[in-house]
Amino acid sequence: MVGLLFLVPLLPFLGFLVLLVGGGRLPRRAVEAIGVGSVALSFAVAVLVAIGFAGLEGESYRQTLWRWMATGGFSADIGLWLDPLSLVMMLVVTGVGALILLYSVGFLRGEAGARRYFAAMTLFVASMLVLVLADNLLFLYLGWEGVGLCSYLLIGFWYREPANGAAARKAFLVTRIGDAALLLGLVLIVASLGTLDIPVLQDRAPEAWTAGSTLPVAAAALLLAGAVGKSAQLPLQVWLPDAMAGPSPVSALIHAATMVTAGVYLIARMHGLYALAPAVQTAVAAIGALTLLLAAISALGQSDIKRVLAWSTISQIGYMVMALGAGAWGAAIFHFMTHAFFKALLFLAAGLVILRLHEEHDIRRMGGLAMKLPVSFAGFLAGAASLAALPVVTAGAYSKDLILWQVAASTEGGLLLWLAGAIGAVLTALYIFKAVFLVFFGPMQTAPEPAPASPAMLGPIVVLAVLAVFGGGLAVPAQLAGTLPAPPLAGAPGHPPLAFALVSAALPLLGLAIAWALYVGRRGPLTGLAASRAVARAAPVAAAGFGFDALYERLFVRPWHALARTLRDDPADRPAAGLAGLSLGGYRLLRETQTGRVRWYAASLAGGMAAALALGVLS
């Protein structure tokens, strides 16, 4: 059954092809059926493959489809590679993908462009599967760029609005900067190791390179740049909040559950390389910690519900990246999985709210929706609790506590990283429950449309809510133990001490309590603090995501436009134009001698002759 692996990415791709070629001839129902069906089928095959894989001897399974390119000693295949890591990714991508596509059917009802939407979504799922299943980095890069393209297409789904187009292009461009670095990283690896084959690299890199030397550090740094771009980490995080211009299910699938975590996957996949570049691994941890704090604070400053979730995604990926930096590989992937569940859930629930409120995004104009939209409320609450990592009852708690514990105990980590994670945990609970309280509690501000939601939308929300609550029971880290190295814990491996667990559990509750005091109780000393001048001054900074956009506008965008304006008429054409002008001038000058008077010509003839004779005689 493992042999069916190639069908997993192929099925969504076939769906894409049918939608692309089938033209507008297909009825709406067929378009939806192909879109959802191809991904759901892919999930079914993925489950079969997983079952087959469990019964397989050995740690991995490889399927080579055909030779992609081979020249001058370098070769890359179109080939797939299945190990526990890619297995987890594959199941999450297809499973969550199928749920979100199902939700899309309801979400897009009455909306034009369904074919374009489902075509891009199926292509996305196919590309994402290529990304996680590729057996070499070049094929991985194909998926990597493919998801970027689909992200671009889907952010700009409502293309008539120029702002959406701008957001889409920004997303593609910013991630492409990282991608260019990633490609250079691949080139470096080929140039010095002669291969991009992932399993071969894992073996060859430690043999060919000594830890901490220039080449592995450069390669790891270039790969990190790619990961930073795709996963919206500092300093390339600016595109993700704007990417919320796309439809909510797109945000759920691409900009929360799957694509943005590609960077995490890449680093985890190349863990052997990072072991050779300790300096870069430290940088990974630092980037993660900084990003998670900065994004959590920014999330607190947002009033658009989708932007809250976007910054939250950046922050949560920051957790994963920090975990990677501390060597907690398994914990990072575990958190990726739970995050995929609860963040997709949050986006889907938020999307439902937005839809029913006629495109109202501002949480300050929502309120009191708990009774009106019970499923959305329940879903959002489950997602929020899991995101905040409320202890025991949520999946997020297990993964986040694992990260906090391993980061604190790791020799690569330390107290500073733990502190960042701990502060982040309080902030996470604060911002997400701020959203919960503002949207679903208090007085009603905007009345929702009374139309009943379709089961296609409610079903995925319910399933994801269950996963967000109970998904922590899936023993992912144990599954990955053979694939990813164990975290370099300082003490003996084992469970964290009780005190540690209690502190971890207390952090989100603290955040929840603050949120309650501020947005429901609206009393007490905290309210005064929140109304203080310092907070008022900090709020716009947080709302603007610490001004990175303005900075980049000034540093890159404006000089680029100025350069384009200056060069517009192509200065390299000047010499040619000058030559043309010169000959034109010469022509005008000489034309004057051609008077058309025959006697004038005769006179010049005679004069010239006389002059020539004189010259001959006199000299």
Interaction site with another protein (CB under 8 A): 20, 23-24, 66-72, 74, 78, 116, 138, 141-142, 144-146, 149, 152, 156, 159-162, 165, 168-169, 172-173, 176-177, 179-181, 183-184, 186-188, 190-191, 560, 563-565, 567-568, 570, 572-573, 575-576, 580, 591, 594-599, 602-603, 606
Closest separation in Å from C-beta 592 to another protein: 10
User: How far is 111 from 561, CA to CA, in rounded Å?
Assistant: 36
User: How far is 320 from 314, CA to CA, in rounded Å?
Assistant: 10
Closest separation in Å from C-beta 604 to another protein: 10
Closest separation in Å from C-beta 58 to another protein: 29
Q: How many residues does the chain have?
A: 619
Angle between helices 395-409 and 329-356 (to 10 degrees): 140
Q: Rank residues 19 and 264 by Cβ distance to another protein and give the closer one.
A: 19
Closest separation in Å from C-beta 588 to another protein: 12
> How far from chain centre, in Å, is Cα 140?
15
Q: Rank residues 523 and 561 by Cβ distance to another protein and give the closer one.
A: 561
Q: Please give the single-letter amino acid code of residue 402.
A: L
User: Peptide bond before 235: cis, by omega within 30 degrees of 0?
Assistant: yes
DSSP string, 151-219: HHHHHTSSTTSHHHHHHHHHHHHHHHHHHHHHHHHHHHHHHHHS--BHHHHHHHHHHHS-TT-HHHHHH
Q: Give all strands (DSSP E) within 484-540, no chain letters.
A: none
- The sign of the dihedral angle between the CA atoms of 31, 252, 233, 222 is negative
Q: Rank residues 589 and 598 by Cβ distance to another protein and give the closer one.
A: 598
Q: Residue written as tokens 């000489």?
A: 590
77 beta partners:
67
Closest separation in Å from C-beta 21 to another protein: 8
Closest separation in Å from C-beta 595 to another protein: 6
Closest separation in Å from C-beta 140 to another protein: 10
Closest separation in Å from C-beta 596 to another protein: 3
User: How far is 130 from 258, CA to CA, in rounded Å?
Assistant: 12
Q: Rank residues 537 and 599 by Cβ distance to another protein and give the closer one.
A: 599
Q: Distance from first CA to last CA of the chain, Å, rounded?
A: 105
The 8-class DSSP code of residue 495 comes to P
User: How far is 607 from 615, CA to CA, in rounded Å?
Assistant: 12
Q: Rank residues 594 and 619 by Cβ distance to another protein and give the closer one.
A: 594
Closest separation in Å from C-beta 172 to another protein: 6
Strands 61-71 and 74-82: antiparallel
Q: Residue written as tokens 């596509």?
A: 101
82 beta partners:
61
Q: Rank residues 11 and 181 by Cβ distance to another protein and give the closer one.
A: 181
